[in-house]
Amino acid sequence: MEINSIGLAKMQNNLHLKFHSDHAAIISSEGAAVLKVSTLYAEYIAVVNELDLMFKKIEGTVKTEDITLLDQDCDKTYTAIKSMIKAAVRHFSDEAVTAGKRLTILFNSYESRGRKVKVPVTKKPYAIQTVEVRNLIQELNGAYKNDVAITRIKDLVDKLQELNNLFEETIEQRMKEELAKRTPFTRKERSKADAIYRKLIKVIEANIIIDGETAYKSYVARLNQLIGISKTTLGQNTRPRTPQDILAAKLKKEKAAALAQARAEKKALKLQADKEYIMAVAKAKADALT
């Protein structure tokens, strides 16, 4: 039983916060005492809460009219999808009812995630909302695509995806502008959360070796699932390469090759000079003996 790795430093701020929030929720659900990480967990949740508070403050400063309107459009589209799913559950067709019920369970899983009371995804803080909507759409277009077709919500799902992409781009830009003013604090808090996360993993992996896998099996499975989802989302965050990116990468590669060649030539010249020097010394000693 192994805990998968994840590149925390590569994550955008919203995905980074969501990962740590969801991981903290997993530990809380499984029981910090059961996992034997109570002290570390207390430190961890304190730092995660600090990050969450910081982003809520930033959201307050970036909340402009265009962001508010986009948020409202996302909320309306999400609500329309939920209404159609609800209608499908009451449909006369057994196929529609089954599809509607499966989609209801999916949406409920997102709305109750890490919370005691269900909250619509589009009502959550911006940093969490954009990532969860993207993950939800990914599932709707993947494992649940047949149910989406049966309940006839495909157009609305595509519209929500379009709105969420625009919403996320706008939020990310505004947040970058705000975070630029708070970079030292942001880096410090991110680094603290990442460091405690790594400590938690090391302690739990050591506990598994000492105590056996049984008490930790559910935690590891849930964490690996979270890591898998986060890695998929992280891949989706990667910007497509433009011609300028390709040219820059080519120039960088050529520069690195030129530097490597220059170092090799310099090393070869030094070796040759050393060889000539040694030979000259040896000859001088030989001449002195004759």
Mean pLDDT by 10 residues, the chain (290 residues): 85 83 91 93 91 72 69 90 93 93 91 66 76 89 93 93 85 65 64 93 92 92 90 59 58 72 76 74 69
Shared domain for 228 and 249, answered yes or no, is no
The answer to whether 120 and 78 are in contact (CB under 8 A) is yes
Residues 144 and 250 in one domain: no
Within a domain: 76: yes
Residues 118 and 256 in one domain: no
Say what the pLDDT of residue 260 is: 74
Q: Give the structural domain span for 282.
A: 244-290
Same domain? 165 vs 267: no
- Specify whether 13 is located in the same domain as 61: yes
Same domain, 60 and 154: yes
188 and 203, same domain (yes or no):
yes
Which of 195, 220, 238 represents a domain boundary (last residue)?
238
Same domain, 147 and 89: yes
Q: What integer pLDDT is reported at residue 112 of this predicted model?
A: 74
Determine, yes or no, domain membership for 24: yes
pLDDT value for 241: 46
Q: Are residues 217 and 285 in the same domain?
A: no
126 lies in the same domain as 156: yes
- pTM passes above 0.85: no
Last residue of a domain, one of 238, 255, 271: 238
Confidence (pLDDT) at 284? 73
Residue 1 covered by a domain: no
2 assigned to some structural domain: no
Same-domain status, 22 and 159: yes
In a domain, 143, yes or no: yes
pLDDT of residue 157: 93
Number of domains in the chain: 2
Give residue 238's pLDDT.
43
On whether both 59 and 29 belong to a single domain, the answer is: yes
- Judge whether 281 lies within some domain: yes
Query: Is residue 164 situated within a structural domain?
Result: yes
